[in-house]
Structure 1
């Protein structure tokens, strides 16, 4: 087995960051472009032009093979042979091999020809090492290409590094992580290291906590935009008619304040799920049977697009109360009763809840599939108790953590249980000082997870820290239940689908009625509204408009204002934005969220800020893979070795620096950033005086595969802080869709000191202009100095 775990990360960094320079023994091609007095000449070596002192007769316009020789303080180039025009490149390669004292077979000779054609400098030792790797190759093209990369970038030519680059070019990171994760999940996992590995791999494949679309739009909007958003949602029947703007805004702002970190949100979600489990466990089998009977009786009567007849609804309510609520836990029973309302959205959600309860699935599955309204109601019961006693609970938890947190951390870090007597004291303190002060479901769940194991102790620590957060219990609950989200989506789609007809109809009415009608002409006004406006809106929207169609000044004024709102384009832009952000796996992070995810990825991969670090970070995936490989299990080793190759390849290609340019290339796991597939990020730019990237002059390219837009490349150029963007995609509607967000992009760039020059859209067939982001060095030359001697 290849001992890849001993490839040190710092060796990577040292190799990657070494600027291209002439090295003793290196063989390269050069062309004499000018002869100057005093035996000086201008010579072109690759993309660099230098001045040489001639100590051998050479002619202008001719090309030669040189070998670098170190002597004193100046580099010497030894002429090996002239590259004669018309001479077959194969003959040149054979001649060069003879001069180096090497015998090459046909394949090896072809490889030398390949390097000469590509004008890649090489050393004799590099050829020897390459020839060893060429032995037995079945893919000449790929092998040549990888060896060329290793030769040009001065990467040691060995089997370990070759496999790293090969895996990097032929696999994606998520694919290999998922293979190892799936294999570990199928094992019994008796080894603690494998459990830790599984938890770490899951981080790469977990979707981020993206903001609620409505909350995100609310947070971004001005006061005027928030008011229009509120009026649109209220007109469409998505939020209650009795809710005023001030109360709605307060609710949204409270939700915004409840936003918490990804790690803590995960702990809160886990706690929520535990609380719901406690509710579902009570009389589970009886509730499953009764839910099944109710569905069989009522599913064909309940329609999702209109209320039930009053008598049927009364009978349904009676069945729910006697068959389910009477046997369910108080939280679940009350949640079902709250949901029992005679409107399409509530009835649809009630049917979904009954389908979940009657299914022969596990409790864990039911927790995730239960409608949001039920989940939220159960959680809010505990949340209200926590809110009322929050200060005392937080004080109790803090006192407990002050005493026990150090021991808990030791247990987690050492992956060893506490001593029995210590655990008994820990358990007693928890039971006496924490459990009595927290809500029943929360307490039951915490006690059910309490074991003398590192995993359990870590869960308890996270739960207690989560319970100290203000609004923690509300922080990760959705603002909209499943049914409400479905209703919102349907209403917004209907609005956008009928936008042209609706705006034309409103315009017709407002042209005929530029001022509000009086009592005597109201019937004519109402007829025009019913003829030109109501046919172009959804049933919910029509009901709302119809309720305003009353012959009194207040109702007429409200109707006129609503029509004016939907005559403009702002509400349609907001509707489109909400729908876009609701699409699964959409990339709508804020800058801060993206940078947080990127930093987490770099830490997990072992790319720390301290390049002088001499040990692999213990939190990195490489450290974890090293431990797995030491276990010696064949199936694990096979998959861990492949993933280790991938990590090595990513580290090898991550960064390339020259004297004045930086070029970085990152492959990022898609799910970690809210995308369906892995994506590539490349950037290059000038170095600032301090050696860091000069953000005034750079280029960034994203190679993406998006859920709806498919293959997409975004190429961004920055010159003197002026930004130009080219988007490559074959969707012909993209420019129209994108133009709606251009103003937002301009404002965002302006806030951080940049100016948007233009956004250009091109078909993907023209994307080859950015397939390779490369750095080029051009050195100005003078005749006064001498760079080397020939």
Structure 2
């Protein structure tokens, strides 16, 4: 199986599961269905893929015949309109009827694309289909263009050339975060601004053997806070109990200002001065002496649910916990994985949209730091290219995020090296949201794509329903994988049980036998929006 960015493998699982999931409808959506049998009171049983619906008939239709419908109303009940009274034998005929109704003659590729959508029961609307047709020849091949357009349609992305190109690059021209980060670190200038050093500090988290931080690094971030009028490090130290709760920010700022004056530290290059000059922190306002003491204290903050919802607190907390998880034995392996997944996602998301009334954030996101350092470089700087490459990756991730009233969806590319992998891996999340707009992890679907050294491509499909977890693992060699899973299953069940997420099942499936064609639609919803459908035709 050939590696291809997020790869066909991950998308193939989505298509297959979409065919076996109870569908929800959207206004304007095109569907096909077969009239199975008539029922009393002018009703009939309609078969739509793997779903049966009882519908009221207002048009004269024939039993055991398939028709093309358009959703005219999705709520509070679904109302369907027959596109053509003429029955269809297959999806090729359905495609022809739709193109004729749209007034489009249709090229060979347009027919093939539309037939694929219908055959795999993938939802679409006529307006979006017309826009997709205009981009169908933009890829290197029809198959590649089809995969890109499916991704765009199912994620409800704008049907523009720019979005097509970004999505195409993400699927077929993947950029390694770990390797590009290493290249950027090596090419950054030796004369460092505070922003350049902050950028290096985050990029080193992408490496398996990154630099171990010291108390001078915490002091440097504290001084950067003071320069920007930011409360981030101060609030984190108070929240952790390392700073006395009665100490005010003004007192903290005054103490550091006196220390800076006494030790002749330039705030504009605080990171460089503290690392290169022989300056002791013995009499500084820093309230701890070792990094283990610091990590142990902020680890307690991580375990407080209220801290995780605070966006600025989360960014500072994630940054330091990523350092601690990589360099100290204070964290269990399960804690390290959780910290890395949450931490990298937090640090890579842009801070540009945050509340501008809040103090400047000294823990600037990786995306914004890349833009700042890029603006400081001259046109010929060697590090501009890797900066542009990383920004392209993050732009693609931001583009893939969908936030709706009841549910959210996003895709993340994570540096594989820090997780002990040779290649980056990808995570897709989709699930319900709580009333407070936070993600509801009790009802969600998470898919991981891994390129493993020995087992090659592997997709882990995790479904969570009412905190109960079912896992499906796809691999080319399930017989090799089965004894490994059997060995690890008891520990997995125990660890998930302690988190009150019982594991109900683990299935191991062969890729080729269980996924069929490898395409790229959005994963099926993790919950059914329609309960007890009443359908009117």
Q: Compute the TM-score of the two structures, normalised by the length of structure 1.
A: 0.44
> How many angstroms apart in 2 are the aligned matches of 1:751 and 1:88?
49
> How many angstroms apart in 1 are the aligned matches of 2:61 and 2:112?
28
**Contact map agreement 1:208 1:674 (CA 8 A) in 2:** no
**Contact map agreement 1:180 1:636 (CA 8 A) in 2:** no
> How many angstroms apart in 1 are the aligned matches of 2:188 and 2:408?
44
Higher alpha-carbon deviation: 160-169 or 740-749: 740-749
Higher alpha-carbon deviation: 683-692 or 78-87: 683-692
**Contact map agreement 2:67 2:84 (CA 8 A) in 1:** yes
**Contact map agreement 1:404 1:426 (CA 8 A) in 2:** no
Aligned to 1:138: 140
Given the superposition, is the C-alpha separation of residues 598 and 47 from structure 1 closer, same or farther in structure 2, using an over 3 Å criterion? same
Query: Where do residues 13-412 of structure 1 align in structure 2 (5 Å cutoff)?
Result: 22-45=25-48, 49-69=52-72, 77-82=80-85, 84-86=87-89, 89=92, 92-172=94-174, 175-176=176-177, 178-179=179-180, 182-183=183-184, 185-186=186-187, 188=189, 195=196, 198-199=199-200, 202-207=203-208, 266-268=213-215, 405=253
CA RMSD in angstroms comes to: 5.7
Residue deviations 1:689-727 (CA, integer Å, cap 9, x gap): 9885464x7776654445677666666677887777777
Query: Which of the residues 271, 293, 317 maps onto 1:455?
Result: 271
**Contact map agreement 1:43 1:52 (CA 8 A) in 2:** yes
Structure with higher Rg: it is: 1
Residue deviations 1:360-409 (CA, integer Å, cap 9, x gap): xxxxxxxxxxxxxxxxxxxxxxxxxxxxxxxxxx99xxx9x97674697x
Given the superposition, is the C-alpha separation of residues 98 and 201 from structure 1 closer, same or farther in structure 2, using an over 3 Å criterion? farther
SS in 1 for 2:170: helix
> How many angstroms apart in 1 are the aligned matches of 2:372 and 2:113?
38
SS in 2 for 1:33: strand
Given the superposition, is the C-alpha separation of residues 163 and 136 from structure 1 closer, same or farther in structure 2, using an over 3 Å criterion? closer
CA deviation after TM superposition for structure 1 residue 101, in Å? 2.3
CA deviation after TM superposition for structure 1 residue 453, in Å? 2.2
SS in 2 for 1:81: coil
Residue deviations 1:514-535 (CA, integer Å, cap 9, x gap): xxxxxxxxxxxxxxxxxxxxxx
> How many angstroms apart in 2 are the aligned matches of 1:159 and 1:473?
51
Q: Is it true that 1:603 corresponds to 2:422 in the alignment? A: no
Aligned to 1:280: none
CA deviation after TM superposition for structure 1 residue 658, in Å? 10
CA deviation after TM superposition for structure 1 residue 52, in Å? 4.0
> How many angstroms apart in 1 are the aligned matches of 2:456 and 2:113?
38
Aligned to 1:673: 419
Given the superposition, is the C-alpha separation of residues 740 and 467 from structure 1 closer, same or farther in structure 2, using an over 3 Å criterion? farther
SS in 2 for 1:599: helix
**Contact map agreement 2:170 2:396 (CA 8 A) in 1:** yes
CA deviation after TM superposition for structure 1 residue 53, in Å? 4.0
CA deviation after TM superposition for structure 1 residue 159, in Å? 2.3
Aligned to 1:389: none
Aligned to 1:549: none
Aligned to 1:429: 262
Aligned to 2:366: 621
CA deviation after TM superposition for structure 1 residue 766, in Å? 6.3
> How many angstroms apart in 1 are the aligned matches of 2:444 and 2:348?
25
**Contact map agreement 1:29 1:63 (CA 8 A) in 2:** yes
Higher alpha-carbon deviation: 30-39 or 718-727: 718-727
Given the superposition, is the C-alpha separation of residues 745 and 115 from structure 1 closer, same or farther in structure 2, using an over 3 Å criterion? closer
Residue deviations 1:317-342 (CA, integer Å, cap 9, x gap): xxxxxxxxxxxxxxxxxxxxxxxxxx
> How many angstroms apart in 2 are the aligned matches of 1:22 and 1:742?
37
CA deviation after TM superposition for structure 1 residue 28, in Å? 2.9
Structure 1 residues without counterparts, runs of 5 or longer:
1-18, 210-261, 272-393, 409-421, 432-448, 477-583
Aligned to 1:12: none
Residue deviations 1:115-158 (CA, integer Å, cap 9, x gap): 33333343332133212212443221011122123223432212
CA deviation after TM superposition for structure 1 residue 669, in Å? 1.5
> How many angstroms apart in 2 are the aligned matches of 1:138 and 1:46?
32
CA deviation after TM superposition for structure 1 residue 602, in Å? 1.6
> How many angstroms apart in 1 are the aligned matches of 2:495 and 2:31?
48
Q: Is it true that 1:469 corresponds to 2:288 in the alignment? A: yes
Given the superposition, is the C-alpha separation of residues 719 and 97 from structure 1 closer, same or farther in structure 2, using an over 3 Å criterion? closer
> How many angstroms apart in 2 are the aligned matches of 1:149 and 1:171?
15
Residue deviations 1:179-203 (CA, integer Å, cap 9, x gap): 3662574364889597267426514
Query: Which of the residues 584, 590, 596 maps onto 2:333?
Result: 590
CA deviation after TM superposition for structure 1 residue 456, in Å? 3.0
- Whichever structure has more strand as a proportion of its residues is 2
**Contact map agreement 1:47 1:776 (CA 8 A) in 2:** no
Query: Which of the residues 365, 387, 396 maps onto 1:649?
Result: 396
- Whichever structure has more helix as a proportion of its residues is 1
Q: Compute the TM-score of the two structures, normalised by the length of structure 2.
A: 0.60
**Contact map agreement 1:64 1:81 (CA 8 A) in 2:** yes
Given the superposition, is the C-alpha separation of residues 713 and 109 from structure 1 closer, same or farther in structure 2, using an over 3 Å criterion? closer
**Contact map agreement 2:463 2:526 (CA 8 A) in 1:** no
Given the superposition, is the C-alpha separation of residues 669 and 96 from structure 1 closer, same or farther in structure 2, using an over 3 Å criterion? same
**Contact map agreement 2:206 2:417 (CA 8 A) in 1:** yes
Given the superposition, is the C-alpha separation of residues 136 and 754 from structure 1 closer, same or farther in structure 2, using an over 3 Å criterion? closer
